[in-house]
Amino acid sequence: MVRSGSRASATLMLEAAALSRALDDTSEEDESEDEWGDPEFLSLVARSRILYLSNVLKVSSWDPQRIYRMDPERARRELRISIAAFRFVLDVVKTNEVFNRVPRKQEQAPVQLQVEVFLYSLQAHSSHVISQHFGIGEGTVRKFCDRVILAILTFEDQYIRWPSRREKHDPKRFVENLNGFKNTHLYYQLGLPGSVHDKRALSFSAMSNLPPAFFDFGEYLLGDSEYGVSFPFIVSPYKRPASTIRENAQFNRLLSKARIIIEHCIGVVKSRFPCLSLYGIHLAEKGAAMRLLKTQRACFVLHNTCIELSEADFEVEDESSDSDSDSEADSDDDMQLGFDPDEHLSSEELRLIVQNDVIMQI
């Protein structure tokens, strides 16, 4: 978006003055002459970066009505959320102070443009592609995204939080065939760069360090076989040779039947925001890791917002590599377990209790 203003005018005046001075063949000069007439000074100022505007041509320019005139499905693919959800998010964030004008700074771009730029970036496009699409500078892309992320994260606690005791025991809200809040993310752990084993990543979480803050009597998580028996609040399937025993194999199938919902939940959010699947990047720039983590958090907030607005999911690619079970089993009713976390049961003891409870209800 090329702008004309005082900077452009000043540049033209300086260039004209420098040219006029260069063409002046007068050899005698007044030593007391104003320094603004010095050709070297004029040339130095004219080369100053702040006076030159980018002349990079853009293939497009932003139209505030374009997204509303688009076919709803095309708009949804571009923004990764529906027009209705876009209006909702825009209405929520537009009053955030991050979009207020800073004293002695120029007026910010429209909030709608900044939100569109951020949502478009969640397709994992490069800054160059985004800048060309909206007709803005590449540096402006990052600035817009940073602002929108900050605005979205101000209402993070409303959409991502561990359920209260009342919510966990309200069957109409929480229990859906033992699958919890459908496709909704309640807890996340970020911050470990590179490829880290799931078990190691969980060991750094607040959940691992302070289980009583998350789990009451009879509560636990389902995990895959990679977690083993390392955590006293995770029930995982049996490994060989124990998994070859009939009762254990049956338990593994039941556990995997319920746990596959977790895998589906992860697939749903990754299909909505492709950037979450394509973040294998080199974090060499200062602040890049923190920006990445904030972007992921914003994606989770937007995803849960879409769930509350009953948004349709994007098609999920099957990434499941579950090997704990090769057949399905019917879902069971809610279970009341006879253990107390204060007794510090081991993960293996917890699994035995859950298994006995499950087998008894079959």
| Averaged pLDDT, groups of 10, the chain, 362 residues long | 57 70 57 58 64 58 92 95 96 96 88 97 91 92 96 92 75 45 53 69 81 81 80 86 89 86 86 82 73 92 92 71 40 38 62 71 60
Q: Give the closest residue to 320 by CA, choosing from 268, 274, 273, 248.
A: 268
Q: Give the closest residue to 259 by CA, choosing from 275, 241, 235.
A: 235
- State the burial class of residue 349 (Cβ atoms within 10 Å of its Cβ: 0-12, 13-18, 19+): middle
Question: Residue 168 corresponds to which tokens in the numbers above?
Answer: 């966990």
Where would I find the H helices in the chain? 6-23, 39-46, 66-69, 72-79, 83-93, 111-121, 127-134, 138-153, 156-159, 165-168, 198-203, 206-209, 246-272, 288-308, 347-361
Backbone angles phi, psi at 281, to 5 degrees: -115, 165
Q: Give the closest residue to 237 by CA, choosing from 219, 217, 218, 257.
A: 257
Distance CA 269, CA 314 (A): 9
Tokens 């800048």 correspond to what residue? Answer: 131
- On the CB side of 283, CA atoms within 13 Å amount to 14
Distance CA 90, CA 113 (A): 10
Q: Give the closest residue to 82 by CA, choosing from 342, 306, 357.
A: 306
Q: pTM, whole model, 2 decimals?
A: 0.69
Which helix H or strand E contains 95, and what residues bound it? Answer: none
Please say whether the beta carbons of 122 and 80 come within 8 A.
yes
- Which residues are within 8 A (CB) of 134 and not within 5 positions of it... i.e. 6 or more apart? 58, 60, 61, 62, 113, 116, 117, 120, 141
- Which residues are within 8 A (CB) of 239 and not within 5 positions of it... i.e. 6 or more apart? 225, 228
Q: What is the pLDDT of residue 24?
A: 64
Distance from the Cα of residue 36 to its chain's centroid: 51
Question: Residue 42 corresponds to which tokens in the numbers above?
Answer: 């004029």
Q: What is the pLDDT of residue 23?
A: 65
DSSP string, 157-188: HHHS-PPPHHHHT-TTTT-STT--STT-----
Q: What is the pLDDT of residue 5?
A: 58
The angle subtended at Cα 84 by Cα 261 and Cα 164, nearest 5°, is 45
DSSP state of 222: E
Q: How many CB atoms lie within 10 A of CB 43?
A: 14
